[in-house]
Amino acid sequence: MEQKHNNDLRIRSIVISEGENRAPNRAMLRAVGFTDEDFNKPMIGIASTWSEVTPCNIHIDKLALQAKEGAKDGGGKPLVFNTITVSDGISMGHEGMRYSLPSREVIADSIETVVGAERLDGLVAIGGCDKNMPGCMIAIGRLNIPSVFVYGGTISPGKSKEGKDIDIVSVFEAVGQYNAGDIDREQLHDIECRACPGAGSCGGMYTANSMASAIEAMGMSLPGSASNPAETALKRDDCYKAGYVVADLLRKRIYPRDIMTKRAFENAITIVMALGGSTNAFLHLLAIAHSVDVELTLDDFERIRKRVPYIADLKPSGRYVMEDLYKVGGVSAVMKALLEAGLLHGDCLTITGNTLAENLSAQSPLKEGQDIIRPLNNPILATGPLFVLKGNLAPEGSIAKMSGLKVKKFTGPARVFNTEEDATQAVLNNEINPGDVIVIRYAGPKGGPGMAEMLSITAIIIGKGLGGKVGLITDGRFSGGTYGLVVGHISPEAQVGGPIALLKDGDLITIDSETQELSVAVSDEELSNRLKEWKEPPLRYSKGILYKYARLVSSASKGAVTD
């Protein structure tokens, strides 16, 4: 009877574990530790993004072993395999950043490849740095086998010499302060040495923590796991439970597409808006939705933004980090408040086998007296801070994060650059004046290629005291650590002849969050004439991953997907 029950869980691996003609396949598995008994169990893949190239992932090898134990105790036969990661913080501000967004696709493709080839029955995917999470989730969506995602957890904040919380964004801003003469080299070095004290992903409500929160709200990770810090017993327990839960999902026949519905994505968008998350959440949630054939558009983000208040005093525009939120109840406590206010769909299924509302019924509310999360009736902003802007510069849309900004409308002359490096040098050389709008183009998914994040230049702008005094628009994107008067994801991008390709120095550009407009004061006739004179530039690369990516990738307004 027990063997029959286990056979029922081998939804794909049974093609290997049964029959004399599969003896060669099983012989290979015996070499990695399988026994006769193991072939009666479901094969559970543990996708580890462990790497020494970034603190976000340095501890994930140990977390993968916890997930392996959980899967084993749950009745499965676990197999750990690895995929890549790159560090956005390390690749920021130079050519290496072109590889960041493409790494999302490499991660998704590699997990899909291993699971598909090995005929694994279930999956635990553990991710840390920004592109790990959507990469893992895209693979989970494509494969549609019982799966759980686990976030590797947030880093603890560093401490400045004065005892102030600092993080990686503090270092980028310190570069601008040093350039402006506000701090000396010794102070810059001291901030550099103190900002990142250990393992875990960047600590503010940047892209990693935004996506962890979104995935928990979507129901694809365990309750509470988005907030549990990297170097805690709770995080190790998250991984053990995830392994155990996958076998239970197999028994219950619960698949990712049963969970990742349109309403689940609406829950994910809701938590991102309430927390003031990263603009990258637009790009990644669109791509994940594509992987499960859910129709999600920028209009959905805008619809939800208008009804969800922004309530979190979290970095980059606020004061606190994810570890602070964890101490007062975490993302789950925020979700409980949103559910009670009718802002979440409580009937959505989750990986626990229960609904979101059932999961949150046992969740304690946020601690009394805390000031990290504002009451819903006294928000920071009455609506979400992540805006979709359209206009003659962005017919398909663009994304702006307006949290912490007093300026609602900004008009200024364009200062046009075809690379981030040239724009950064202009800022450092004091060639940008208050009132200017910096334009960085040919930085989109195809033109970059890879849609580089621009934390370096935006942090330098803040560090030099130009925050709110200059605008920056781009067909590239921004780190979750970016804040200020910036607009990214402009679509169509310059490489395909989008209006941003037609701008000239001195053109008056308007960024207006109230009318949600991104426009240039140039007539349609003039833009049409400029387009006739415009010539599509060659792709930056002619071989390798960046060439393949540039040829395949879609518009940012569709998630920059490659399939």
pLDDT in tens, 411-421: 999 999 999 99
Same domain, 114 and 227: yes
Could you give the 3-state DSSP secondary structure of residue 141? helix
Amino acid type, 352? T
Report the percentage of the chain scoring pLDDT > 70. 98
- Whether 73 and 246 have beta carbons less than 8 Å apart is answered as no
171 in a structural domain: no
Residue 169: predicted pLDDT: 85
Provide the annotated active-site residues. Answer: 479
**Residue 77, both tokens:** 């036969």
Residue among 270, 383, 266, 366 at smallest CA distance from 320: 366
**How many CA atoms does the CB half-sphere of 422 hold within 13 Å?**
11
Task: Give CA–CA dist 8/545, Å, rounded.
Answer: 40
Same domain, 458 and 346: no
pLDDT at residue 1 greater than cutoff 60:
no
- Whether 316 and 210 have beta carbons less than 8 Å apart is answered as no
Same domain, 342 and 409: no
pLDDT at residue 309 greater than cutoff 90:
yes
165 in a structural domain: no
Same domain, 271 and 416: no
Same domain, 351 and 395: no
Chain centre distance of CA 120: 26
Single residue among 360, 379, 400 that ends a domain in this structure: 360
**Residue 101, both tokens:** 């967004």
216 in a structural domain: yes
Residue 5: predicted pLDDT: 45
Alpha-carbon dihedral sign for residues 401, 406, 408, 409: negative
Could you give the 3-state DSSP secondary structure of residue 421? helix
190 in a structural domain: no
pLDDT at residue 289 greater than cutoff 70:
yes
pLDDT at residue 481 greater than cutoff 80:
no
Number of domains in the chain: 2
More confident residue, 92 or 272: 272
Same domain, 439 and 550: yes
381 in a structural domain: no
Structural domain harbouring 76: 42-156+198-360
CATH code assigned at 504: 3.50.30.80
C-alpha dist (Å) from residue 236 to 111, 229, 248, 264:
22, 10, 19, 26
Same domain, 308 and 442: no
Same domain, 396 and 475: yes
17 in a structural domain: no
183 in a structural domain: no
pLDDT at residue 338 greater than cutoff 60:
yes
pTM beyond cutoff 0.75: yes
Of the pLDDT bands very low, low, confident and very high (cuts 50, 70, 90), residue 404 is: low
Q: What is the mean pLDDT of residues 475-493?
A: 87
Same domain, 535 and 497: yes
Residue 405: predicted pLDDT: 67
Same domain, 347 and 391: no
pLDDT tens-digit readout, 93-139:
789 999 999 999 999 999 999 999 999 999 999 999 899 999 999 99
Same domain, 394 and 356: no
Compute the mean pLDDT over every residue in the chain, rounded to the nearest whole number.
94
Burial track 337-346 (b if 16+ CB lie within 10 A, e otherwise): bbbeeebbbb
Q: What is the mean pLDDT of residues 262-278?
A: 97
494 in a structural domain: yes
- Strands of 77-82's sheet, edge to edge? 77-82, 43-48, 122-127, 147-151
Same domain, 231 and 349: yes
- Whether 374 and 478 have beta carbons less than 8 Å apart is answered as no
**Residue 315, both tokens:** 């970095």
